[in-house]
Structure 1
Amino acid sequence: MTEVVQGTVADGYEAVRDAFIRNFEERGERGAALTVHRHGRTVVDLWGGTTDPADPEAPPWTADTAVVIRSATKGLAAAVPHLLHQRGQLDLDAPVGTYWPQFKAAGKERVLVRHLLSHRAGLPALPEPLTPEQALDGVTGPRTLAAQAPAWQPGTAHGYHAHTYGWLLAELVGRASGGRSLGRWFAEEIATPLGLDLWIGLPPHLAAAGAPGGTQRVARVAEMTAPAPEPGALRLRPKRAVTDAYADPRSLTRRAFDALTPRPDENDPAYRAAELPAANGIGTARSLSAFYAALIGTGAGTDTGAGAGAGAGTRAGVSRGARRLFTPATLTQARSEESGGPDRVLIVNTSFGLGYMLHGSACPLLGPGSFGHPGRGGSLGFADPESGTSFGYVTNTLHRSVTSDPRTQALVRTLRTVVR
Structure 2
Amino acid sequence: MEKLRSVSILSAAIMTATAAQAVDLEVTHWWTSGGEAAAVAEFAKAFNENTDHNWVDGAIAGSGGTARPIIISRILGGKPMGATQLNHGRQAEELIEEGLLLDLTDVAMKEGWQDVVNPSSLLDSCTLDGKIYCVPVNIHSWEWIWLSHKAYKDAGVAVPTNWDEFVAAAPALEKAGKIPLAMGKQAWQANGAFGVMAIAIAGIDAWKAVNIDKNVDVANGPEYQKVFEAAVAAREMASESKVQDWNQATNMVITGQAGGQIMGDWAQGEFSVANQVAGEDYTCLPGLGANEVISTGGDAFYFPKQDDPEIEAAQKELASLMLSQSVQVAFNLKKGSLPVRGDIDMSTANDCMQKGLKILADGNVLPSGDMLLSADTQGQVEDLMVEFWNDPSYSAKDAQMRYAEIIADAD
Question: Smaller-chain TM-score range?
Answer: under 0.3
TM-score under structure 2 length normalisation: 0.27
Q: Which has the larger radius of gyration?
A: 2
Higher helix share: 2
TM-score under structure 1 length normalisation: 0.26
